[in-house]
Amino acid sequence: MDSIRIRGGPPLMGAIEISGAKNAALPLLAACLLTGETLTLSNLPHLADIATMAHLLAELGVDVSMNGDACNGGYAGRVFGLTAARAGETTAPYELVRRMRASVLVLGPLLARNGYARVSLPGGCAIGTRPIDLHLKALAQLGADIELEEGYITARAPNGLKGAHVLFPMVTVGGTENLMMAAALAEGETVLANAAREPEVADLARCLIAMGAHIEGAGTDTLHITGVKCLRGADYTVVSDRIEAGTYAVAAALTGGDLQLIGGRMDLIEALADTLVNAGAEVTETADGVRVSGAQGPLRGVDVMTEPFPGFPTDMQAQLMVLMAVAKGASMITETIFENRFMHVPELCRMGANINVHGASAIIRGVEELSGAQVMATDLRASVSLVLAGLAAKGETVINRVYHLDRGYERLEEKLSACGAVIERIKGK
């Protein structure tokens, strides 16, 4: 397994190209199952999770043509042509689903197009049990017969799905995406109330509309979907990754640097931008993205609670904690979305951070400086928080198990070293 070695200290200066969003690309890839025509997706990031989803789609009989890289400056956004012409395999196997929970996003489209789907239950993951009960209950409301057997979901709708009024008891991004794709081909009107408002959900809605779906309310908490008989192919460009942009924004503030986030979208990171400004950093919108520079004086502690969009994103919680670890004064971060998303805390404490977890909240008391150490990555966002800590820490940090990072950050070392970071990947044995 590879590891990453960082020598902390240099302020990050320069420009970073923000890639297409992983969490938009994954449902967009699954959407190809809804039509027999070709869906062409551009600006796909080079990530392990994207390759895993492409592998799963190929297993399901989709013809996946990776049309090389449509260069857009320094980093290429990949272009995939996806054609699910024949009603192929309708089983998403455990060995693929366990590697990436987002594989569950093929359930809605497979069921809607074929009237049948068999998808492995994803099982838990490091940050929580992450059940999909809300996906299944809502699909049942659209008339699907759902059975759980031998760790698999078998969903049947031999006479097709029928529109229904679905109220999600809690906001679920994946649940909203699965149901939006299923409802697009259901008979009649579906309302999704208390729907997720994440930009990646809105991106999926826009792509489905380009494919001929009738969807209103994208980006709001109520989606109105009128089913159609069939959907057509489309050409669609994946939205910019707000979490990647947010991560590098924190890196600029943390190292007292000045970064241009090219392709970053201020409208997608407002809650984070407000938090960084309250902490003393400068965040400004520019013609080609967002510019973030470190605080002139010491960083200030800020209290934050993670919430569904447009609130502060849970996927930025670990990264913000690193900034708070070296801010002046105390701060409290409350994680309301997942039940176990503080696994970066013990590793940060080994680097000298002063953090105490009390249930869903972490109290952080700022210290002068972190010190480099050997640390262990546990999940995607915890891993990148350790990279951020290494960039600011005194001395050398070595992060093990960086395969977690490769799931969500495209060319991380390249992008950071181009801005002055002393960072290198050490190939595993």
Question: For residues 283-322, which are near ligand EPZ according to CB under 6 A?
Answer: 314-315
Q: CB-wise, 158 or 359, nearer to ligand EPZ?
A: 359
> Residue 383: CB partners within 8 Å, gap ≥ 6?
377, 399, 401, 402, 404, 405
Q: CB-wise, 268 or 327, nearer to ligand EPZ?
A: 268
Q: How far is CA 92 from CA 20, 58, 95, in A?
A: 25, 11, 9
Find the helix or strand (DSSP H, E) in which 423 lies.
strand 422-426
Shortest approach of ligand EPZ to residue 106 CB, angstroms?
12
Q: Tokens 């199952």 correspond to what residue?
A: 33
Interface residue with ligand EPZ, options 338, 345, 347, 352 (CB under 6 A):
338
Shortest approach of ligand EPZ to residue 377 CB, angstroms?
13
Tell me if 341 sits within 8 A of 362, measured CB to CB.
Answer: no
Q: Respond yes or no: is residue 207 known to be catalytic.
A: no
94 φψ region: left (φ > 0), alpha (ψ -120 to 50), beta (else): alpha
Q: CB-wise, 131 or 298, nearer to ligand EPZ?
A: 131
Shortest approach of ligand EPZ to residue 282 CB, angstroms?
27
103 is a site residue for ligand EPZ (CB under 6 A): no
Shortest approach of ligand EPZ to residue 274 CB, angstroms?
18
Shortest approach of ligand EPZ to residue 215 CB, angstroms?
18
Residue nearest to ligand EPZ (CB): 174
Interface residue with ligand EPZ, options 3, 23, 260, 385 (CB under 6 A):
23
Using a 10 angstrom Cβ sphere, with 0-12 exposed, 13-18 middle and 19 or more buried, the burial of residue 72 is middle
Instruction: Tell me the HSE value of 280 on the side-chain side, using a 13 A CA sphere.
Output: 20
Q: CB-wise, 163 or 174, nearer to ligand EPZ?
A: 174
Shortest approach of ligand EPZ to residue 155 CB, angstroms?
14
Tell me if 264 sits within 8 A of 18, measured CB to CB.
Answer: yes
Catalytic residue among 32, 71, 125, 207: 125
Give the full edge-to-edge strand order of the sheet including 63-70. Answer: 63-70, 77-83, 38-44, 234-237
> Residue 133: CB partners within 8 Å, gap ≥ 6?
none
Q: CB-wise, 39 or 196, nearer to ligand EPZ?
A: 196
Instruction: Provide φ and ψ at 306, rounded to 5°.
Output: -75, 145
Q: Is 187 helix (H, G, I), strand (E, B) or coil?
A: strand
Instruction: List the beta bridge partners of residue 119.
Output: 92, 153
Q: CB-wise, 108 or 233, nearer to ligand EPZ?
A: 108
Shortest approach of ligand EPZ to residue 191 CB, angstroms?
18
Interface residue with ligand EPZ, options 26, 231, 299, 304 (CB under 6 A):
26
**Chain centroid, CA 375 distance in Å:** 23
Distance CA 305, CA 312 (A): 7
257 is a site residue for ligand EPZ (CB under 6 A): no
Shortest approach of ligand EPZ to residue 332 CB, angstroms?
20
Distance CA 321, CA 73 (A): 32
Q: How many residues bind ligand EPZ (CB under 6 A)?
A: 23
Q: CB-wise, 123 or 128, nearer to ligand EPZ?
A: 128
335 is a site residue for ligand EPZ (CB under 6 A): no
Distance CA 5, CA 396 (A): 7
Q: Are strands 116-120 and 91-92 parallel, antiparallel or unpaired?
A: parallel
Question: For residues 52-81, which are near ligand EPZ according to CB under 6 A?
Answer: none
Stretch 118-137: interaction string toward ligand EPZ, x if CB under 6 A? ----------x-xxxxxx--
Instruction: Tell me the HSE value of 416 on the side-chain side, using a 13 A CA sphere.
Output: 32
**Chain centroid, CA 167 distance in Å:** 24
174 is a site residue for ligand EPZ (CB under 6 A): yes
Binding site for ligand EPZ (CB under 6 A): 23, 26, 102, 128, 130-135, 170, 172-175, 200, 314-315, 337-338, 380-381, 408
Q: Which residues are catalytic?
A: 125
